[in-house]
Structure 1
Amino acid sequence: MIKIPLTVVGAEQLKAELQRLKSVDRPAVIAAIAEARSHGDLSENAEYDAAKEKQGFVEGRIADLEGKLSNAQIIDPKELETTAEGRIVFGATVQLLDLESEEEVVYQIVGDDEANLKEGKISVSSPIARALIGKYVEDVAEVQAPGGIREYEVLDVKYL
């Protein structure tokens, strides 16, 4: 089985979503199906069809989350500080300088399910993260972007 890297925070978010799906969403869908069934003829019952479709989505998401969590390799960035020693690895938070625009950005490299650019979290499989992995402070990473190659200088690496 392929291990799926997750930060501790990301794993907790997936566990919380799974708990909500099992304890709130699943019972609500079951109740909606029962309510729709009580209306009689199921062949032309739009409420029943919608509830069954929602049930399929909820059950699919539960199975997806359970699979990801069972194959998860949970990595705590705080524990990496002693082993990584300034090297960019999964879970690291990096401060970068875009050499073209002179703009500073901060990203944390996280698992695919945790990525959220608005929160400064980029997927480990993104082009920028792949270019950064293994670099140190003052290294320059070249990233193939849609508009051409972008260069980023690594200003700082933290393990938060």
Structure 2
Amino acid sequence: MSKDGADRVAAWLRANPSFLAERPDLYRLLTPPRRIHGEGLADHMAAMLDAERAANRDLAASARAEESFVHRAQRAVVALIAAPDAAEAVSQEWPALLGMDHCALADEGAPAPHRRSLPPGTVQALLPTGRDTLLRDDPSDAALLHGEAAALITRDALARLPL
């Protein structure tokens, strides 16, 4: 940056002293001074450190949440492997294990215990050829897929399972 440009930035920051305090995310982009030369620089470095600590806290919280979900998914897979009836494990055990309101297997075949029976063509309509998964917000057909749990459903995930 030219000296003239640097002087203009410095003048603007002097005229707007709360600018950086109101945007702590910018501290992560700044290069801190190598040494402390007075109270103002010490505060600047402290703010940069606080911003970095906050980012690290967010990263750690995200890692813990991801680890928690991985652990829950592992428990759900073990329950599925150990279950004498996979459909029963999905509908009865998975909601609690995965922290979800409802889990179900559904197909267009004859009605069966612990499976939702769908009208012909539903699977193709929901998951067209070449599409094996779908995440949806506010599904309009929640009653069809989730039955009595439909009122609880704000999002769902559909997956085509090969049989």
TM-score by length of 2: 0.31
Larger radius of gyration: 2
